[in-house]
Structure 1
Amino acid sequence: MRGRRFENKVSVITGAAQGIGRATALQMAAEGARLVLVDRSEIVHEVADQASAAGARAVEAVIADLEHYSECCRALDSAHQTFGVIDILVNNVGGTIWTKPYQHYEESQIEAEVRRSLFPTLWCCHA
């Protein structure tokens, strides 16, 4: 018997189209969550279909580029309008450029990584 830790909990998952975000969405779906899946890739719609099939109570897919504060606000506003509440926020969006020693990165590369990985987390928590 599967656990039901997320039964009817509304969970917003960023970076939901692949990897950890996708796996988190499917696990929460199997445990009865209501999901808002956010990603900048259209693939998030396929993951939403998979989450529905896995047992999610309800699923909304939102295409948004969370490097922009306005897009974070739009995604979280959509969740509030659809479900009225957000119980769980999984800030998973981001990437990594750390494939060489830190001192070998240009300032612009470091700024791009912070914009891609840190700001979306801060902005989604603020929104």
Structure 2
Amino acid sequence: MKDRFSLDGQVAIITGGGTGIGRGTALVLARRGADVVLAGRRREPLEATAKEVQALGRRALAVPTDVTDPAQCQELVDAALNELGRLDILVNNAGGAETKSIAKWTEDEWHQVIALNLGSVWFLSRCAARPMLEQRKGAIVNISSGASLLSMPQAAPYGAAKAGANSLTGSMAAAWTGKGVRVNAIAVGAVRAATLVDVAALHGVDPETFGRTNASGRLGDPEEIAHGVLFFASDASSFCSGQTLYMHGGPGLAGI
């Protein structure tokens, strides 16, 4: 029986691909046979992850990219097609924001958060969909956040942007699934990554505290989220599109 989790011969673009969930996703997809294009603003972590992928016997391309810029989004897709010959999977993982009270956000900060967490999904997905639609097969996976499903005043712009990404996931799935391109999202809970550690340090909190509120009683590992991405990227989820999966360790005592 065909391995429905196999990605042999496929090419994936992963934004925010140098660290955290992006790095974990690159390694998991590479182990299942995919070549990867790693995008992000900093070249050094992209190249470090690319070397790890290459050590697994897969091709890897590091492409420094500002995913808030539509022109650079198109250049990223063009690089994948020109260097690796095709595009089958897009993982919109780039994102993040500060935490502060609603009154303290400036107008520029609002626009930056929306551009990074929502605008990038809009622009890059439309660029990537073109070659996928031409070959009538592809998968887009948007990395969202539990903040999109909860009321979190310290992360209001971020939560609003991620909620928008959930909505785009459904709209794009409705437009493209019948043409061979599935679109799904993963709303991520507290995961052991640099961004969470930085936030915890800012507030003088032990990062492990964030994990104790879920039923598992711990932080998630980036590769645990990456295996959710593998499900949505592969034919294992061939009858699934337009969904947002909440991966957060299970509801805690408050049912959240």
TM-score category of the 2 structures, normalised to the smaller one: 0.7 to 0.9
Partners in 1 of 2:82 and 2:30 — Cα distance? Answer: 20
> Is the aligned partner of 1:111 residue 2:98?
no
1:48 counterpart residue number: 50
Highest relative contact order (Cα 8 Å, sep 6+), 1 or 2?
Answer: 1
1:31 counterpart residue number: 32
Partners in 1 of 2:15 and 2:9 — Cα distance? Answer: 19
> Is the aligned partner of 1:71 residue 2:72?
yes
Let me know the Cα RMSD of the aligned residues: 1.7
2:84 counterpart residue number: 83
Partners in 1 of 2:103 and 2:21 — Cα distance? Answer: 28
Partners in 2 of 1:103 and 1:10 — Cα distance? Answer: 43
Where does structure 2 lack aligned partners over 5 or more consecutive residues?
128-256
SS at match of 2:23: helix
TM-score (norm 2): 0.45
Where does structure 1 lack aligned partners over 5 or more consecutive residues?
none
Partners in 1 of 2:102 and 2:34 — Cα distance? Answer: 39
Q: What are the Cα deviations for residues 34-71 of structure 1, in whole angstroms up to 9, with x where unaligned?
A: 11111111120111001111342x11111111121111
TM-score (norm 1): 0.87
Partners in 2 of 1:103 and 1:85 — Cα distance? Answer: 46
Residue 4 of structure 1 and its aligned partner are, at CA, apart by: 5.2
Larger Rg: 2
- Structure 1 residue ranges (4+ consecutive) displaced by more than 3 angstroms after TM superposition: 100-104
